Amino acid sequence: MTARRTSRRRKQRKPVDTGAADDDAAVDGAVDDAASGGGAKSRQGAQQHHKKGTSKSASDPSGATLETASNSKSGSNKKRRANGSGQSTRKAAKNAQQRPKGQSTTTTKRHAIDSDEEDDDGDVDGDSSSGGSGGGGGGGKSNHKSTSSSNHKSTSSNTSNSNDNSNDNSNDNSNSSSGSAATNAGDPVDQQEQKDGIDPEVLDAARETLRHQLLNPPLPNTARHRETEQLLFDTLYAGVVRGESNSVLLTGPRGSGKTTCVQSVLQKLRQDPAAKERGFILIELNGLVHGDDAAGLKHMASQLRVAASEDVDEDEDIASSAAETARALRQALQQGSGATSQCIIVIVEEFDVYAHFGQQTLLYTLLDHTQLAAVPMVVVGVSCRVDIYSLLEKRVLSRFSQRFVHLFNAWADFPTYLQQFVDMLLLPDTFEPASFRHAWNVHVRALQHNPTLERELREMHAISTSDLRPLQKMAFQAVTRTAPARPFLRAEDVFEEKMRQTRDAKVTLMLDLSALELCLVIAMNNLRYRGTMSFNFEGVYATYKAFAAGINKHGVDFYRKPVALKAFEHLSALELIRPASTTVASKGSQHAATDVYAAVHLLVDDLQVMQVVDKCTSLSTRVKMWAKAHGL
Amino acid sequence: MSSSVRDGGGGEELVGREKELEQVRQYVGKPHSPCLPALFVYGTSATAKTTVVRTVMEESKCRYAMINCLETYSPRVLFEQILNSLSGDTPTPDNLYGGHARCDTVYKFIKYLKGVCDSQEDPKATVYIVLDNCERLRLFRNHDLAVFLRLRELVHRNVGVILISTVIWEKFREGTGFADPLMAHFPAYTKAETLAILQRRTPRDVHPSHFRQFVSLLWDVFHGPCRDLNELAHLVALFFDKYYAPVRAGKINADNKTALFKAISPLLRAHFSSLYLRETSTAEWLAAGAGGDGDKTESTAAPSSASTTSTRGASQLHKLELPYFAKVLILAAFLASHNPARSDLAIFSKRQRKLSKQRGRSKRKAARRADTTAKFRLPTSPSTFPLSRLFAIFYSLMDEETDLTADVYSHVKSLLSLRLLTRTTTDDNFDSAKFKCTMAAEDVIALGRSVEIDVVSYLHEVNA
């Protein structure tokens, strides 16, 4: 095929500047993908489009799998809509051939701008095609999803041997399009794997390993974390071995590894010979679980008695009130002495919850005890609130040791953030067989060179530099998506998962609404545009009615008030609108009969409405125009 | 929701939910696989959320508890149901209706849950808790939802929580401790999928293609206001016999789509206005259909569809035979509620003077003004009025002289008990009581027509 020849020739002529192994495979894939796309309609249109698409993808130096896929797809889609035969192959190839050599450098520079444009392009195309084919569900999917799904379609349309390789998007494409595996000579591991096929059991094992790894992430290896760990360990060690009471407060945003840090320190402490010999009593409290002072104190008391190997039932009331429990606890604790008694380590998670109860009895009792020289006790508070200091009462604060540790992950620079993502997906060195591990890791490392994925990750990085949990979730889902047919991580899987997790839920939900419900939303949006901030059903219906009356001849259905009221109620059940007065807004009364005059707020902003209007296939053009013009 | 879909044809496979099934399956993985703490399944109603999750749960061979949060009105009920379901203990007379354990706080729940997890034959296997309609959990104290979101961390066992809701996740975030779950969106069914599902309801004596024709027709007519599968299924049940009656009677060939559509379309159009409303029960509907043959139903349907929207809306009211005084009282109450008191004098005192001429002009002027004003004024809720004002307007509306008698008072009382009027003050003092008219404008206009009073011309907005 001409396309392949050109790209190969190019490979010889122009050395590739980055070291990624499958660059040229990607280029091939892009061309082939475009080629296998579908029918051709107008020669000029296809050519124009392809000139843009292929030239850019060809020039892209870094395995531009997704970019190229969406690129060439936007062209092929247009054609597919026209007619479905596979004629564009030669044309696309010719384009690639005709492309002047110097063009590649200029397009590379324009890449950033270009990619955005391309994205929009794919957007429109993807949607219209999914709506047209009727299989896509019209609404629910993000544009990117439809992009890659139709990419699937194109690869599976000519299935030659796509079932056992598909290690990377590029390879997948190049193989499935023509069945000649000779092109990707750059990646020996892949070829070997293709020959062997992947053992499903190995894949399962890999998946399980990664699931474990992702769910139990290790403590981030930063200086701050190490310092904190050391400090905590020293404090606890002093408490356990030397009987020094103390208190530490560990703060930090969610997902910054506070709990992990505490747990790892406890683990170390358990293994430490000196601490082991002395032994300690561990009491873990959690503000979410032991929801108030009384419950917390009770739990502590019963834990102590369990530790003292008294046979107790937690249900049994130790004392009737929190105050009595506290007193009993205090007495129990004062009986020991620092020299002989075992140290009590109290871990209080969600420390801030206890600060919200009137007297802060629990915190007071705990911290007060650390000041007494009786039984040694170390209190470790864990909280996500940075302002915890200002939440505490004076008498509590005065008993606190003032040891604050603020823990945070800051992968301020993007490469380390990216590295975190890659690290969490790499198979550990202990994993066997090594050949699979190697192949897997190669693919994972290749992910970071994918420009589209990088863009998305940059966006996530811009949102939060410290929280890795979104990355974990994304990685988790991407790992579970692997199957024996496509055993390695693919950029598009990760990408699709990212889109799925971060898309605008309101827009997705609204795309599933009926035309009438959307009309009401649009009516409200239009009213808001004209300066009304809260609406009632009567007003919304009047607006809708005025609109429908104006264009009734043009086939827009008009619905009577009770039907519209039902639709309105549905919107309220989906919580897209909310009663304006807070007294009515108490969550229980949502399903009471709707007062048609009660003021409501629309909880969807103009941008979201416009997105829905753009994407929705069930709305008539008139309604769309009405929405766009904001009813003016 | 799911039951109606399944009852439909008895088909077990889920149409058009392959992707969603796959998504939930991926979350669950193998029986021993550790899973993320929570999965949040959302989508509009009737998108097979519950069914898909249940299917996956059943094939996963894991222990799971499927709880509908509509049933659990307090945390205790929720916790105990979960524990009972997971442990297999049911409250019976033998255990004094105790179930697994008495459990009303979170820490007890976690304690017992640990016990339940460890008591499995295989303690490592994942345990799932499915909470349907989980938006109801927000009614409890904030922490309870947060606890479920990080249950895995709190219990230190392999526990997964699947939340199902129609409400999006944004609305759940309040309070502390929220770990965002994994999202799984269930899109609404497309036309093809809906048709395939409804197709399962094909009666035995009907050819599938004919039924498909009908269902497709119904979708085309109704999908604008209604994409809810349940409602469409209801419509299918409602209309199919009527649609097919001519074929059964041998009048129209089943392949003659146009003729069949023509026969049914007045009925469908009439139903447009009462979609979702269930004004008549299915039994009544069927009884009405069985009473007469096809022609008869058509003749009853035709005038109603031919008449204007407003009179159709008032049809319910017409059934209620009110005496003349009562009707006029309603009109008076409506005017009292919707006109400002200061306008009464202008409207009622000299209303005979140049009535017709002024009306027409002012109406036009008002219409023009409504077009030009950019700022929209919201319709306000009906205002309250004292009894004296009601009577003043009432006598002004009545052409002939009427004495204020106990009769009129008793009419007010009966309107109150019919809930056409509501009183806004407390019950003790009838003289100083204030009232409100709750009827919709179009109903009142229709009512006015029946007593030959043009209500619109008395409205302040129109006259101003």
How confident is the model at residue A307, as a pLDDT? 67
For an interface test with B, the pick among A506, A507, A514, A547 (most B C-beta atoms closer than 10 Å) comes out as A514
- The Cα A538–Cα A529 span in angstroms is 18
- Mean pLDDT lowest among B47-61, B335-349, B366-380: B366-380
Give the residue among A234, A270, A229, A162 at the shortest CA–CA distance from A487.
A162
Indicate if the pLDDT at residue B82 is higher than 50: yes
Q: Which residue of A has its CA nearest to B172?
A: A575
CB of A466 closer than 8 Å to CB of A413: no
Q: Which residue of B has its CA nearest to A472?
A: B36
- The band of B464, judged by pLDDT with boundaries at 50, 70 and 90, is low
- The Cα A268–Cα A492 span in angstroms is 41
Higher pLDDT, B348 or A108: B348
Mean pLDDT of A98-111: 42
- The band of A553, judged by pLDDT with boundaries at 50, 70 and 90, is low
Give the residue among A122, A135, A139 at the shortest CA–CA distance from A612.
A139
Q: Exposed (0-12), middle (13-18) or buried (19+): which is B213, by Cβ within 10 Å?
A: middle
Q: Which residue of A has its CA nearest to B155?
A: A289
Query: Going from the N-terminus, what domains does chain A have, and what CATH number goes with each?
Result: 2-186 (no CATH), 202-217+411-502 (no CATH), 223-406 (3.40.50.300), 507-628 (1.10.10)
- The band of B42, judged by pLDDT with boundaries at 50, 70 and 90, is very high
**Tens of pLDDT along A254-268?**
878 888 889 889 988
Q: What is the mean pLDDT of chain A?
A: 69
Residue A534 backbone phi and psi in degrees, to 5: -125, 150
Q: Which residue of A has its CA nearest to B43?
A: A509
Indicate if the pLDDT at residue B244 is higher than 90: no
Pairing of strands B434-437, B421-423: antiparallel
**B53, two tokens:** 């999750």
Taking the CB of residue B247, how many other CB atoms lie within 10 A of it? Answer: 19
- The band of B52, judged by pLDDT with boundaries at 50, 70 and 90, is very high
Mean pLDDT of A194-203: 69
How confident is the model at residue A284, as a pLDDT? 87
With beta carbons under 8 A apart, name residues in chain A contacting B367. Answer: none
Pairing of strands A577-579, B127-132: unpaired
A538 Cα to chain B: minimum distance (Å): 6
Give the angle B22-B26-B30 at the CA atoms, nearest 5°: 125
How confident is the model at residue B362, as a pLDDT? 55
- The Cα B143–Cα A254 span in angstroms is 16
How confident is the model at residue A521, as a pLDDT? 92
CB of A91 closer than 8 Å to CB of A52: no
For A288, the closest of B177, B224, B378 (CB atoms) is B177
* Cβ-defined contact of A516 to B225 (cutoff 8 Å): yes
With beta carbons under 8 A apart, name residues in chain B contacting A566. Answer: 275-277
Indicate if the pLDDT at residue A113 is higher than 70: no
Mean pLDDT of A258-279: 87
Query: Going from the N-terminus, what domains does chain B have, and what CATH number goes with each?
Result: 17-185 (3.40.50.300), 191-306 (no CATH), 318-361+378-463 (1.10.10)
A465 Cα to chain B: minimum distance (Å): 17
Best-predicted range by mean pLDDT among B154-158, B294-298, B374-378? B154-158
A514 residue type, one letter: S
With beta carbons under 8 A apart, name residues in chain A contacting B167. Answer: 574-575
Mean pLDDT of B221-228: 80
**B24, two tokens:** 């939930």
Residue A217 backbone phi and psi in degrees, to 5: -65, 145
How confident is the model at residue B163, as a pLDDT? 94
Provide the percentage of residues in chain A whose pLDDT is more than 70: 62
- The Cα B433–Cα B435 span in angstroms is 7
B126 Cα to chain A: minimum distance (Å): 13
**Tens of pLDDT along A416-425?**
888 888 888 8
* Cβ-defined contact of B47 to A211 (cutoff 8 Å): no
Rg (CA), chain A: 31
B143 Cα to chain A: minimum distance (Å): 6
Rg (CA), chain B: 30
B394 Cα to chain A: minimum distance (Å): 25
DSSP structure string for A154-217: HHHHT-SSTTT--SSHHHHHHHHHH--TTS-TT-HHHHHHHHH---HHHHHHHHHHHHHHHHSP
Indicate if the pLDDT at residue A345 is higher than 80: yes
Higher pLDDT, A76 or A471: A471
**Tens of pLDDT along A441-460?**
888 888 888 888 888 888 88
A143-157 vs A23-36: helix crossing angle, rounded to 10: 80
CB of A200 closer than 8 Å to CB of A484: yes
- The band of B317, judged by pLDDT with boundaries at 50, 70 and 90, is low
Mean pLDDT of A84-88: 42
Higher pLDDT, A226 or A21: A226
Give the residue among A39, A33, A37, A89 at the shortest CA–CA distance from A57.
A33
Q: Which residue of A has its CA nearest to B443?
A: A561
For B376, the closest of A259, A469, A539 (CB atoms) is A539
- The Cα A568–Cα A542 span in angstroms is 13
B236 forms beta bridges with none
* Cβ-defined contact of A543 to B153 (cutoff 8 Å): no
How confident is the model at residue B67, as a pLDDT? 93
Q: For residue A29, what is the enclosing H or E element?
A: helix A23-36
With beta carbons under 8 A apart, name residues in chain B contacting A140. Answer: 43, 185-188
B42 forms beta bridges with B165, B185
How confident is the model at residue B164, as a pLDDT? 94
Indicate if the pLDDT at residue B375 is higher than 80: no
Pairing of strands B127-132, B159-165: parallel
Taking the CB of residue A208, how many other CB atoms lie within 10 A of it? Answer: 16
- Chain A and chain B share a number of CB contacts under 8 A equal to 207
* Cβ-defined contact of A288 to B143 (cutoff 8 Å): yes
With beta carbons under 8 A apart, name residues in chain A contacting B226. Answer: 514, 516
- Mean pLDDT lowest among A10-14, A440-444, B345-349: A10-14
How confident is the model at residue B273, as a pLDDT? 67
Give the residue among A178, A206, A204, A198 at the shortest CA–CA distance from A485.
A198
Higher pLDDT, A121 or B89: B89
- Mean pLDDT lowest among A33-47, A255-269, A404-418: A33-47
Mean pLDDT of A530-556: 79
* Cβ-defined contact of B106 to A538 (cutoff 8 Å): no
Dmax (CA) for chain B in angstroms is: 92
- The band of A136, judged by pLDDT with boundaries at 50, 70 and 90, is very low
B408 Cα to chain A: minimum distance (Å): 29
Best-predicted range by mean pLDDT among A178-187, B307-316, B363-372? B363-372
The yes/no answer to whether this complex scores an ipTM above 0.90 is: no
CB of A436 closer than 8 Å to CB of A488: no
Indicate if the pLDDT at residue B360 is higher than 60: no
DSSP structure string for B396-448: HH-SS-----HHHHHHHHHHHHTTSEEE-S-TT-STT-EEEE---HHHHHHHH
- The Cα A371–Cα B384 span in angstroms is 66
A468 residue type, one letter: L
